[in-house]
Each structure stands twice: as structure tokens, then as C-alpha cells.
Amino acid sequence: MTELNAFLTRERIDPTHEGPLSGRTVAVKDNISTRGVRTTCGSAMLAEYVPPYDATVVERLREAGATVVGKTNMDEFGMGTTTETSAFGPTRNPVDTGRVPGGSSGGSAAAVAAGEADLALGSDTGGSIRCPAAFCGVVGIKPTYGLVSRYGLVAYANSLEGIGPFARTVEEAAELLDVIAGVDERDATTREPETTPAGSYADAATGDVDGLSIGVPTELLEGADERVVEAVEGALSELEAEGATVREVSLDSLSYAVEAYYVIAMSEASSNLARFDGVRYGPATESEGNWNEAFAAVREEGFGEEVKRRILLGTYALSAGYHEKYYRKAQDARAWIAEDFDGALSEVDVLASPTMPVLPPELGESLDDPLQMYLIDANTVPVNLANLPAISVPAGESDGLPVGLQLIGPAFGEETIIRAASALA
């Protein structure tokens, strides 16, 4: 069997208690802090970094009886859509090892798809859970912003990202969400759901979609590969056959989402990654006492090309004179997108689209053209801009490759998307 390179560190972290996840193995993305176990973020900058504390989600896993089996490969600091920007080499897609697993949480999705872990945690800033779930044929949930603690998650773009589960079935993903969700005093952005779940998220996986109304934004179908559209339409027909209604809706703001997302994500990244200066984190260099040179040298050596590109662009977008032109406009677009979603979700229960507009690319195919790579995030990034929950669920295959259906719900409407998706997997 070809080595998938799903894990960067294989190390067992034992549970502290018995609980609902006793006997279950969980793989954890390598940007989630694990006490005493190296946490690299897929970067040479943190190749030797060992956190002194556990992320809240890791603490909750251990209290729930789960056994962590290792830390998974990822695009460097979460910046990518294929897991190829990792400083430790790409992960392969277990469905077709010549193809990428998606990203940036590619290692977590591949580990679950290949049966190397029962469950996994990833993080999603602009699609990094949903994309690899779609490409590897598993389930991935991006929770509402604030439902799951980010304490111990190494920040890339903190206003957009969150931690969420992967599993082979919707019910198992929901069980993992039950364990990690909830207010955390160490993350002031966590919130109590406005409507508390009736039982548990897992209980919502009833498979019952009778009476559910589904809206399909035309903007998220346009430009998608025909083979993807066909599989997604097949899944929607299945839901209709079980009593759901499907209709087209339109959200004009969505055509600005990729531009807005990349301006905001890169701006936040340029600020968040300033801490990697060779003093607090990163390899030591010979500095001869010149701070600027030492700082530059460690960042030259420690960061890969994609990370450098984003720090430069983000710094530019935030600089005096350009701030109004780029950052401010991106924030306006973000507000418009959130409003548009609110409007659409007051008319239908959930919105549906292909998770990714393309089938999994071949390894190496998308690296030369960063813009092309950014554009394939068109269907996932709007959800992060609007702080909403979404799930990617297998919608069948095309040419032997998995296709994902994305279902988007209202804020803290995890139960609705779990219920809808559970009719399919």
C-alpha cells in the first residue's frame, strides 16, 4: 500500500476518563495543540515545537474517553486546498493515491477515509474541513463560529476559523461534535446556542427530511464541473424522494466572496503570523545582534512560499492608503454576504451546493497557479464569511471519485443540517 502521509506524528494520547468516545480513535490536525506532543502546523517554522498545554477540544476528547492516535498533515498553517503546501510533503488521497486529499485538513480526512482513525478533528477557515471531506468521500462539519472553542488552535485567520469533526457517517461526526461543542471560558468568542439542542447533535441524525425545504443558490452551481453537478443533483433527487422540497434561490453577493475572503484571511494571517520571529517560536539563527536581519532570516527559512505570499499580500492590504481600498471593502462584502444568507435562510431551511466545484485534482496539478487554487474555494468561503454552520456529506461518485454535497444552515442550526445530511450517509 502506498504511504498516504496522513500523519506527521504518530503518538498515542490516552483518555483521562471513560465516556461516550471510549474505545474510539481520533486523529487530530497538527495545528491543534497537544501537551507534550509536537504540533507543527505543517511548517518548518514549528518542526520542533512542543506545546505546554492541550487545546480545549483535546481536553474534551480525553475526558470523553477518546484515544488520540496522532497528529495529521495539513497545508502550512492551513493555507491551501490540497495539503501540498505542507513542509513535510503532500498527503495522498486514499481513494486514488495519484490525487490530492483536499485541504487544508487533508491528513485528517485521509486518515478517516483509510480507516487509520475512527474520527478526526480538522479546522476550517474557508473550507478546510469540507473540502477534504468531499475529496476523500467522508463527512465533515464546519460548526457555527463560536460553537467550538478555538483555545489551543494555532491562528491563521481567527475571525473566520473553527474546529470541527470528520467521520465516515453523519451520526458519528455529530457524536464528536457533541463532545467538543460548548462554551469555554478560555475562548471569549464561544457562545451558547440560541436554541439549545433538543437532545444531542447525534440524536438529530434521524434521516428524516420529510417537509424540509432546500434552496440551491444558482451562484454556487455556475461554473462547477458537470460531473460534480450531476452527482449533486442525484443526491438532491434522493432527498426529494424522501419528502424534501428543492428550489433555486439566488444570492447576488456570493460572486464577491472569494475576493473578500482572501483579503480578510491574508490580512489576519499577516498579523497572526508575526509571532513567528525566531525568539518565541522558530529555529534559532546566527544573528550577530541585528534584530531585523535575524527576524528576516528565520522567516525566510521557516516559512514556505504560499505563507510568504499571504503575509506580503495581507501586509499590503492593511497598509496605510490601501486599507480603505481593500480591507474595508472586503468587510463590506462580508456584511452583505451575511445579510444575503439571512434572507435566503428565512425562506428555506437549508441551502445546498456542491462542496467543491471540481473533482480531486491530481498531485502537483494546482501548485503553479495560486489564483486557480483560490477560485476552487468559491462554495466554501461564503459560509465562513457569514459565520454559519455547514456539512459536507458524500453525494456519490463521478469517474470513481467522491463528490461532496454541502448543506448550509442558519447560525447554530447544526441540528437541521445534521438531520438533512443523515438521509444520505
54 binds ligand GLN (CB under 6 A): no
125 binds ligand GLN (CB under 6 A): yes
Give the shortest CB-331-to-ligand GLN separation in angstroms.
Answer: 17
Give the shortest CB-290-to-ligand GLN separation in angstroms.
Answer: 33
Among 104, 108, 149, 422, binds ligand GLN (CB under 6 A): 104
Residues facing residue 193 across a β-bridge: none
Residues facing residue 249 across a β-bridge: 217
The helix (run of H) or strand (run of E) holding residue 68 is: strand 67-72
Among 15, 51, 65, 80, binds ligand GLN (CB under 6 A): 80
Q: Which is nearer to ligand GLN, 138 or 244 (CB)?
A: 138
| CA distance linking residue 77 with residue 86, whole number of Å | 8
Among 6, 44, 79, 134, binds ligand GLN (CB under 6 A): 79
Provide the annotated active-site residues. 29, 104, 128
Among 124, 175, 268, 414, binds ligand GLN (CB under 6 A): 124
Give the shortest CB-26-to-ligand GLN separation in angstroms.
Answer: 19
Among 65, 78, 101, 215, binds ligand GLN (CB under 6 A): 78
Cα–Cα distance list, 166 to 96, 170, 349, 356 (Å):
19, 9, 23, 17
* Contact yes or no for 87/76 (Cβ under 8 A): yes
87 binds ligand GLN (CB under 6 A): no
128 binds ligand GLN (CB under 6 A): yes
Helix axes 170-180, 56-63, angle to 10 degrees: 110
Q: What single-letter DSSP state applies at residue 355?
A: S
Residue partners of 215: CB distance under 8 A and separation at least 6:
246, 247, 248, 249, 344, 347, 348, 350, 351, 352
Which bin fits 208, alpha (ψ -120 to 50), beta or left (φ > 0)?
beta
Q: Which is nearer to ligand GLN, 51 or 140 (CB)?
A: 140
253 binds ligand GLN (CB under 6 A): no
Query: SS3 letters for 12-67?
Result: CECCCCCCCCCCCEEEEECCECECCECCCCCCHHHCCCCCCCCCHHHHHHHHCCCE
The helix (run of H) or strand (run of E) holding residue 111 is: helix 106-113
81 binds ligand GLN (CB under 6 A): yes
Which of 382, 101, 398 has the alpha carbon at shortest distance from 254? Answer: 382
Count the Cβ atoms, other than its own, within 10 Å of residue 246: 16
Q: Which is nearer to ligand GLN, 115 or 364 (CB)?
A: 364
Q: Which is nearer to ligand GLN, 6 or 21 (CB)?
A: 6
| CA distance linking residue 141 with residue 134, whole number of Å | 11
34 binds ligand GLN (CB under 6 A): no
Of the candidate spans 77-85, 144-152, 288-296, 348-356, the one that interacts with ligand GLN by CB under 6 A turns out to be 77-85
Give the shortest CB-22-to-ligand GLN separation in angstroms.
Answer: 31
Of the candidate spans 55-63, 119-127, 283-291, 318-326, the one that interacts with ligand GLN by CB under 6 A turns out to be 119-127
Q: Which residue is nearest to ligand GLN (CB)?
A: 128
Q: Which is nearer to ligand GLN, 67 or 128 (CB)?
A: 128
Nearest 5 degrees, angle CA 9-CA 12-CA 14?
145
Question: Under rule CB under 6 A, which residues in 357-396 are in contact with ligand GLN?
Answer: 377
Interface residues with ligand GLN (CB under 6 A) are: 78-81, 104, 124-128, 156, 265, 377
